[in-house]
Structure 1
Amino acid sequence: MTRVHDMGGRYGDGAVVPEPQGTVPFAADWHRGALALTLAAGGLGGWSIDTSRHARESLDPKDYARFSYYEKWIAALADLLVAKGLVSEAELAAGTAEAAPPHPGLLRAAAVAPALAKGSPYARGGGNPGFAVGDRVRTRLPARNVLVAGGHTRLPAYAAGHAGTVILSHGAHVFPDANAHGLGERPEPLYTVAFDAADLWGEAERAGDEVTLDLWESYLERA
């Protein structure tokens, strides 16, 4: 079963309106702080990016629907900090930290730019890919995490059970379905798969339109 975040192809949510190039990245001043706090907390090393994504997906559906983008970030971050024992519920309620020595992973201001420039590469060594560019493949149905019930997956529900063509092979990458839940990186071959838009949506805006998705090997079988 899918969670509330898996919205692709759903009616009633309005049009996707791209922001013009060169616009200010933060619509409100507190958005900048929300991003900074998320980066600083991530630097403590208590979780992976996959874990943080799953935390946002696991918000109460009513909250997820009404929260803005950065409200989702902050709510999920609060849940993670409490779950990992880095912040107590009492501290959150008071809005004040209890006296404690600095965390060894504390991200100082001078370290932010180098950390962002370095990034977090997720490519890993791994076995030979089972598919090649040009292969026809079909995605798993239903789109679910087979390791953890209700767990994180990068296979969107709208693409589940559909056939597409492998157009790129990226080598092995950290498998998010495992990494989000502390089960290790379990790297798998990662592919870009192209789907006919009409197959996914029932009709396409233009003939020949495609949707491309980056998908891990265990999501796929030969079509």
Structure 2
Amino acid sequence: MTRVHDMGGRYGDGRVVPEPEDQVFHEDWHKRALAVTLAAGAHGAWNIDVSRHARERLAPMDYARFSYYEKWMAALADLLVETGLVTADEMAGANPTMSPRAATTLTAEAVPAVLAKGGPATRASDMAPAFAPGDVVLTRHLAENTLVDGGHTRLPRYAAGARGCILRYHGTHVLPDSSAHGLGDAAEPLYAVVFPASELWAHPENPADEVVLDLWQSYLVAG
């Protein structure tokens, strides 16, 4: 089953129109939305996979009509309430109180160092890589989270059941399917897998194009 956010190759959405490289934000409030999201994330109450899943599980009608940063802000509001950083009443503007995490607030002076540090997802793991560059693989037939019904996964539906070739081995990384649901890192080998456009879509505009996806080992079988 496809969900509203999993829209690769879907008909009816029109062409992708590249924007000027120097046009980072369309509106001034977009800058603030990015800043608030980064500052809230610095409290450590969630990780990147949890935040992605929060955006994916917005109501379909909202997801379809919201702009990019409106999706960010709607998901952030959900996360703030769900993690207890803000109450629903406070979100509505009533009786604001000092958050118990106020001491971990990200200050403007600390932003460059925090962004430079990033959030590496590499982890040690006993799981050996099953594939090497040049190996032919098939993706799982169903693009679903096998740990949590309806849960987060980084295997897009348009690539489910497709045949590709291992381009690069990235080492072992946190498995989003587990991490997004508080089930631990469950680190697995991660690969860059290259697919011809003709393998992913029935009528690609440019059949010779290739798509490279980063995919975890549990998404793949030998092809």
TM-score, normalised via structure 2 length: 0.95
How do residues 44-55 of structure 1 correspond to structure 2 at under 5 angstroms? 44-55=43-54
Whether the 8 Å CA contact 2:86–2:99 is kept in 1: the answer is no
Shift of 1:185: 0.5
Q: Deviations over 1:173-211 (max 9, x none)?
A: 110000000000111000011111012111333343211
CA distance in 1, matches of 2:214, 2:44: 26
Alpha-carbon separation, structure 2, partners of 1:206 and 1:51: 35
Q: Unaligned 5+ residue runs, structure 2?
A: none
In structure 2, distance between residues paired with 1:136 and 1:100: 51
Partner of 2:131: 131
Q: 1:51 to 1:89 in 2, by over 3 A?
A: same
Moved over 6 A (4+): none
Secondary structure, aligned partner of 1:104: helix
- Look up the match of 1:10: 10
| Contact residue 162 and residue 200 of structure 2 kept, 8 A | yes
Contact 1:197/1:211 (<8 A) preserved: yes
Change (3 A) 1:102 1:177: closer
Equivalent pair of 1:189/1:217 in contact (CA under 8 Å)? yes
Change (3 A) 1:213 1:99: closer
CA–CA distance in 2 between the matches of 1:181 and 1:102?
A: 22
- Measured in 2, the distance between the counterparts of 1:179 and 1:104 equals 26
Distance 1:102 1:186, change over 3 A: closer
The residue aligned with 2:149 is 149
Which residue of structure 2 lines up, in the alignment, with residue 113 of structure 1? 112
The Cα shift of 1:100 comes to: 4.7
CA contact (8 A) 2:81 2:87 kept: yes
Between the aligned partners of 1:101 and 1:56, the Cα distance in structure 2 is 25
CA displacement at 1:95 relative to structure 2: 6.5
Bigger mean CA offset, 152-161 vs 199-208 = 199-208
Report percent identity of matched pairs. 60
Alignment of 1:1-223 (within 5 A): 1-23=1-23, 25-94=24-93, 97-100=96-99, 103-126=102-125, 127-223=127-223
User: Matched residue pairs, number?
Assistant: 222
Distance 1:9 1:156 in 2: 11
Question: Which residue identity does 2:15 align to in structure 1?
Answer: A
The question of whether the paired residues in 2 share the 8 Å contact of 1:43 and 1:107 is answered with: yes
Contact 1:169 1:191 in 2 (8 A): yes
1:111-165 deviation digits (Å, cap 9, x = unpaired): 1111011111111122320101111100011100000001000000000011111
Q: Distance in 2 between matches of 1:96 and 1:187?
A: 42
1: distance between equivalents of 2:91 and 2:112? 28
CA distance in 1, matches of 2:14, 2:57: 23
TM-score (norm 1): 0.95
Alignment partner of 1:87: what SS?
Answer: coil
Separation in 2, partners of 1:207, 1:186: 36
Give the partner amino acid of 1:138.
L
